[in-house]
Amino acid sequence: MNRTYTAPSGRGKPKWESAYNTRTDPPASAAMRPRILMCPPDHYGIEYEINPWMNRSLGAVRAVAFQQWTTLRDTLVGLGATVETLAPQPGLPDLVFTANAGLMFGNRFLSSRFKHEVRAKESPVFDAWFVANGFAVEHLPERMFHEGAGDALFCGEILFAGYRTRSDANAHNWVAQSLGVRCLPLELVNPRYYHLDTCFCPLAPGVALFHPEAFDRYGLRVLETHVPTLIPVNADEARRFGCNAVVLGKSVVHNSRCPELGAALAGAGYRSVEVELDEFLKAGGSAKCLTLRLDGEDAAAWQS
């Protein structure tokens, strides 16, 4: 049974309501609110190691993770988003990272083909949710790895695509042809930034955060040529996943203790909203990884 979050009225704890259909029914005045899919971290933990951040011996404190996840969810709701929830499943600790479910394009959901079998088990769960909620679910050909919105981000009309660690360049080409969009592959050269959304964050068409050390010279030239306003994130704050941010209009929600990023965002006319997410950093994730924008990111030209 899935759960839908209802924002609390007045004081008191948030209330979870049981529902078979997790699609919220906002009032007409809220019809255009951003829609975000999240999954509560009931079964989150470090049960395997598939990126440099993960260490099973350190593990994660589930109670702290749930508190941080709840704060993120409430922050997004407070900024005007409608948060829909996917029911957590035992044995799928990374189901909480909904950004990797697939890629959204209008009513189309291109389901991910995960490189690691431990995460491939998530796909049937994600697919079932999208089918139940009225989306057209599509699949890539076999032997093509593509990890959804973790490695494919629109900035304007261009789909920027990270490859090497988790997703394949040929898979990005297949996606671009299927959607009829221009795709620019970017090789990720630092294993700590294994998904594109850990080192690149479009804020609006032609504007993006990025961590230069995650890309090779060719990738940097591609970004400099096609994104007129690039805001660099320094090494320390990139390691805190400052680039792994959720953009809602002029508000940018990201992990805590990123003061230089906050100042840079303010200088560009954005509001920095910090949320402590260190329990998820242990698995190589942060704010963006924990969310999937169902109606399209603000920076995507097709979204408007």
Strands 82-85 and 35-38, sheet pairing: parallel
What is the dihedral sign for C-alpha 282, 292, 72, 154? positive
201 is catalytic: no
Q: How many other CB atoms are there within 10 angstroms of residue 258's CB atom?
A: 23
The distance in angstroms from the start CA to the end CA of the chain is 33
Residue among 146, 172, 195, 254 flagged as catalytic: 195
Active site includes 226? Answer: no
Residue 260's contacts (CB-CB under 8 Å, 6 or more residues apart) are 233, 234, 237
Residue pair 165/232 in contact by the 8 Å Cβ criterion? no
Of all helices (H) and strands (E), which one includes residue 248?
A: strand 246-248
Sign of the C-alpha dihedral, residues 120, 99, 46, 65?
negative
Residue 290's nearest CA partner among 39, 35, 109, 49 is: 39
Query: Are 187 and 172 a contacting pair, CB within 8 Å?
Result: no
- Count of C-beta atoms within a 10 Å radius of residue 11: 5
**Could you count the other beta carbons within 10 Å of the beta carbon of residue 68?**
23
Can you tell me which residue has the tokens 């399209």? Answer: 296
Residues whose CB is less than 8 angstroms from the CB of residue 194 and which lie 6 or more positions away in sequence, other chains included: 51, 52, 165, 166, 188, 284
Buried b (16+ CB within 10 A) or exposed e, 125-138: bbbebbeebebebb
Query: Which of the residues are catalytic?
Result: 195, 289
